Amino acid sequence: MSLLPTDKIVITGGAGFLGSFVNEKLEELGFKNRFNPRRADFDLTVEADVARLYAEQKPAIVLHLAAEVGGIGANRDNPGRFFYANMAMGMHLIEHARRNGVKKFVQTGTICAYPKFTPVPFREDELWNGYPEETNAPYGVAKKALLVMCQAYRQQYGMNAIYLLPVNLFGPRDNFHPHSSHVIPALVRKFVEARKNNADHITAWGTGKASREFLYVKDCAAGLVQAMLKYDSPEPLNLGSGREITIKDLTELVAELAGFKGSVEWDATKPDGQPRRCLDVTRAEQSMGWHSTTSLEDGLKETIEFFEAHADAPPERVY
């Protein structure tokens, strides 16, 4: 069933970090009939609200980007909530997509779903070969269960549901809150504020030995929309840059770009999280011709410039 520019698209999380750029990409491609449900109007963990969303909006396409998520600290503080909220939102949205006969359902997963000791680079086929890293396992397992649901609904009901695995995102409009933010916005905030306050050092979590991969948010938005248009397989699909960097090297790079001249002290009592993360992005390249185009350095410069321009805004979102 082909997708048309006139099709109604519901984008959960559409007002958020990734969602704002997905909306811009869809607008650019002529998909103007879009709706971004707000939590104040639709609590997606409540089935009655999800049923009302479908009844009122009648979407042909659903992009489920909404999630309750945060960094290591937030995951440790809210394991039950993160499991319940992410499981409930996805379960209700997928079931009611089936009932309403949507053309396409796009479920975003998380690389937190990969086993703790997945061989690098992470191939989609490794997803079930072990248990996720403990600090974010409830979130990762909930999201991975939605892959099974998408595949089961495709098998039983013929529902065109796809599952995407974006790597850690970063860029303008990110969450810069000191407790709930991920590593790049947290470092950007720390270094910019330390420079302005003439601090001689900052403290970073862990040992710095863990590695991560990061994808610029605009590249992810382009990949997600391309998958909506071109990817129809039941198999999960990695979206990443293919570049691995240690947290220590990343921290030094952010410090340099932010103009911070002091030292970094590592708090080894804090967890590193998963030892390594880097995705194999061959499937995305081969199946739909997608790859990232923005370097880590260029993306970091834009992120720092954005934060500095909005540093007086509330810390949860600086836009």
Give the model's pLDDT for residue 252: 96
311 within 8 A of 192, measured Cβ to Cβ: yes
Give the model's pLDDT for residue 277: 87
Read off the pLDDT of residues 16-58 as tens digits, 9 standing for 90 and up.
999 999 999 999 999 999 999 999 999 999 999 999 999 999 9
Give the three-state DSSP class for 204.
strand
Give the strand pairing for 244-246 and 211-216: antiparallel
**AA identity, residue 66:** A
Calpha distance 300→123 (Å, rounded): 26
Six-digit token pair at 112? 């937190």
How wide is the angle at C-alpha 289 spanned by C-alphas 286 and 291, nearest 5°? 100
Q: Between the CA of residue 1 and those of 78, 179, 237, what are the distances in Å?
A: 40, 44, 21
Give the model's pLDDT for residue 319: 35
Calpha distance 298→40 (Å, rounded): 36
Q: Hey, how many other C-beta atoms are within 10 angstroms of the C-beta on 291?
A: 16
pTM of the model: 0.92
* Non-local CB neighbours of 283 within 8 Å, separated by 6+ positions: 124, 235, 237, 238
Sheet holding 161-166, edge to edge: 34-35, 9-12, 61-64, 104-108, 161-166, 237-239
Q: Which of 54, 139, 153, 216 is catalytic?
A: 139
Indicate if 139 belongs to the active site. Answer: yes
Give the model's pLDDT for residue 272: 85
Per-residue pLDDT of the chain (319 residues; tens, 9 = 90+): 799 999 999 999 999 999 999 999 999 999 999 999 999 999 999 999 999 999 999 999 999 999 987 777 777 888 999 999 999 999 999 999 999 999 999 999 999 899 999 999 999 999 999 999 898 899 999 999 999 999 999 999 999 999 999 999 999 999 898 877 889 999 999 999 999 999 999 999 899 999 999 999 999 999 999 999 999 999 999 999 999 999 999 999 999 999 999 999 999 998 888 788 899 999 999 999 999 999 999 999 999 999 999 977 655 554 3
Domain residue spans of the chain:
9-170+214-245+276-293
Give the phi and the psi of residue 126 in degrees, each rounded to 5.
-90, 0
The conformational region for residue 207 under phi > 0 = left, psi -120 to 50 = alpha, else beta, is: alpha
Question: What fold characterizes domain 9-170+214-245+276-293?
Answer: Rossmann fold (3.40.50)
